[in-house]
Amino acid sequence: MDTDIVILGSGVSGIQSALKCSAFADVVILTKDKMTESNTFYAQGGLAAVFGKDDSKEQHVLDTLRAGDGISNKKIASIIANGSPYAVMELSKIGVNFNKNNDGKFKLSREAVHSRARIVHSSDMTGREIEMSISKAARNNKRIKIMEHHMVLDLITKNNKCFGCIVLDLQNKRIFPIFARKTVIATGGIGQVYKITTNPAVATGDGIAIALRQDVILEDMEFMQFHPTMMHNSNPSFLISETLRGEGGLLKNSSGKTYMGKYHRDGELAPRDVVSRFSVIEMKKTRSKNVYLDMTNLDSSYLKKRFPNIYNECLRYGIDMSKDSIPVSPAAHYICGGIKTDSYGKTSMENLYAVGECACTQLHGADRLASNSMTEGLVIASRMSKIIRNRIKKAKLEKVEVVIPILSAAGNGRISALRASFRNIMWEDVGIIKSRKSLMRAMKKMMRIEEKIEKIKKDGTNKDVQELDNMITVAKTIIVASLRRKESRGTHFMEDYPERHDSIWRVHLTIDKRYLESKWKN
């Protein structure tokens, strides 16, 4: 199969890339589940964008830098802040219904580290509203071909140049190549690497893993963001949006006492890494498995109107959030690092681009500012389409020899057990609070799992095998990067090195295939 541009992923970044590129090229979107199954669909908060009278793009940049704990890229932050209003207006034109005031202007909410209310939202289902609207636009676009239930197994490369990808058709059980002049990775996050996560089942880090295997450079992989408030014991996992704390919600321990005020001047609206870490400390102090989010200081009718989805989900668990505190605990949420790109989504490999959570522009630094992620994805996708438009005319559709892997149905039972063990290791030893000892322990355990998966792979591959292999690859980069950074910064907290050291570590750490293999073996 041939196309001009193949896009791997169907979240906001992938679909926006497709919509933009369809103006000048034929586009194929690949997604391993149904089109709307992505992190975007489950996003509750909204888009950080400057619309308020008391706000400015300069202040948005400053807030981004503050959240990033010293290593966010100011130039990238400026690009995103400047592009944010246009990104929101484009979505409005597509048909996304954002909440508005009586005067027709966007309603704006506030989240952690934001010094102003600047979150454009659609109640507490912003991601769903965006995903459904842009998916509809893509389906109605004649130049976009959507291939659901197709999983990318590998990139087709030669001499640091990308020619497309190898794809597994999950419904018809066949593997085939897609050749393209440009390839865009927009596969989203890696949350499933951890036992407890806000991410859906599809978030297994596929794009990051296949890029690394072809020696594409990664960056900032030690910075995994944990969201402080996932509903405890929810199944499937259910995020309690940060906006609730922005509206006045208070975190309390199992003794009913508030605690964030004694740890940080911003209290409940401190950076996510701070709130998550001290929530864990409070849980250990009180020997409990969760803390509580108290919204009872707000009016019942307001809560129902502002947070209809969260309110109803809480009721499903027997919790009336206007009367009862919500049991919450931290969960793996967002990878701040990923495939290293410039401000146009260009990677270290020719003809290969990356955008969204799987990419690293250095915007997020050591900790992502709330609601900056979808904004970044939209802005970078727009910039990327412009540079692809200029370059695609000169790019030939080339074909190289491809080795098609063997498809196997074996090993699923063993894979399930290995996957559960692996995710538990990552949660226990490579989680919110790390140490050299815990990381080395995780590495040794991971090596044993890796040996077992390699034996299973000899019989061929399938979705389960490929996903676990991808997750292990991503986990290895997190462990190696975490061991390398001998300090604590943002989401990366090391018990051995609890302080931040700008004189040495105010840098971005990169990882390629060769470096990972050399450090993993030794």
Count of the separate structural domains present in the chain: 2
Q: Is residue 251 part of a domain?
A: yes
- The whole-angstrom separation of Cα 189 and Cα 202 is 9
Residues whose CB falls within 8 Å of the CB of residue 287, separated by 6 or more in sequence, listed in order? none
Max mean pLDDT range (247-251, 392-396, 518-522): 247-251
Instruction: Report the CATH number at residue 436.
Output: 1.20.58.100
What pLDDT was estimated at residue 185? 99
What pLDDT was estimated at residue 465? 94
Among 312, 330, 348, the domain-final residue is 330
Q: Which two tokens stand for residue 186?
A: 């927009």
Q: Average the pLDDT over 121-139 and give the result.
A: 96
The closest of 148, 153, 202 to 176, measured between CA atoms, is 153
What pLDDT was estimated at residue 488? 98
Q: Is residue 433 part of a domain?
A: yes
The pLDDT tens digits of the residues spanning 252-264 come to 999 999 999 999 9
CB 224 within 8 A of CB 357: no
0.75 surpassed by pTM: yes
The closest of 488, 513, 481 to 212, measured between CA atoms, is 513
Q: Average the pLDDT over 457-475 and give the result.
A: 94
**Residue-number span of the structural domain to which 431 is assigned:** 412-521
Are both 416 and 515 inside the same structural domain?
yes
What pLDDT was estimated at residue 415? 92
Q: Average the pLDDT over 16-35 and give the result.
A: 97
CB 260 within 8 A of CB 251: yes
Q: Is residue 451 part of a domain?
A: yes
Instruction: Report the CATH number at residue 266.
Output: 3.90.700.10
Q: Average the pLDDT over 207-233 and give the result.
A: 97
Active site residues: 272
Q: Average the pLDDT over 414-442 and give the result.
A: 96
Are both 421 and 517 inside the same structural domain?
yes
The yes-or-no verdict on residue 245 having pLDDT over 70 is yes
Among 299, 330, 361, the domain-final residue is 330
Q: Is residue 321 part of a domain?
A: yes
Neighbouring-strand partners of residue 326 = 293
Q: What is the 3-state secondary structure (H, E, C) of 336-395?
A: CCEEECCCCCECCCECEEECCCCEECCCCCCCCCCCCHHHHHHHHHHHHHHHHHHHHCCC
CB 29 within 8 A of CB 100: no
**SS3 of the chain: helix, strand, coil, percent, to 5:** 40, 20, 40
Are both 514 and 423 inside the same structural domain?
yes
Half-sphere exposure at residue 309, Cβ-oriented, CA atoms within 13 angstroms? 18
Radius of gyration in angstroms for the set of CA atoms belonging to the chain, rounded to a whole number: 22
What pLDDT was estimated at residue 378? 98
The yes-or-no verdict on residue 522 having pLDDT over 80 is no
Among 305, 330, 355, the domain-final residue is 330
Report which secondary-structure segment, H or E, holds 328.
strand 326-335
- The whole-angstrom separation of Cα 190 and Cα 202 is 9
Q: Is residue 127 part of a domain?
A: no
DSSP 405: P
Q: Is residue 237 part of a domain?
A: yes
Q: Is residue 50 part of a domain?
A: no
The yes-or-no verdict on residue 296 having pLDDT over 80 is yes
- The whole-angstrom separation of Cα 292 and Cα 296 is 12
pLDDT, the chain, mean: 95
What is the pLDDT confidence band of residue 413, given thresholds at 50, 70 and 90? Answer: confident
What is the pLDDT confidence band of residue 510, given thresholds at 50, 70 and 90? Answer: very high
Residue 103: exposure state from Cβ atoms within 10 A (0-12, 13-18, ≥19): exposed
- The whole-angstrom separation of Cα 126 and Cα 297 is 24
What is the pLDDT confidence band of residue 410, given thresholds at 50, 70 and 90? Answer: low
Residue 248: exposure state from Cβ atoms within 10 A (0-12, 13-18, ≥19): exposed
Sign of the dihedral through C-alpha 16, 12, 359, 201: negative
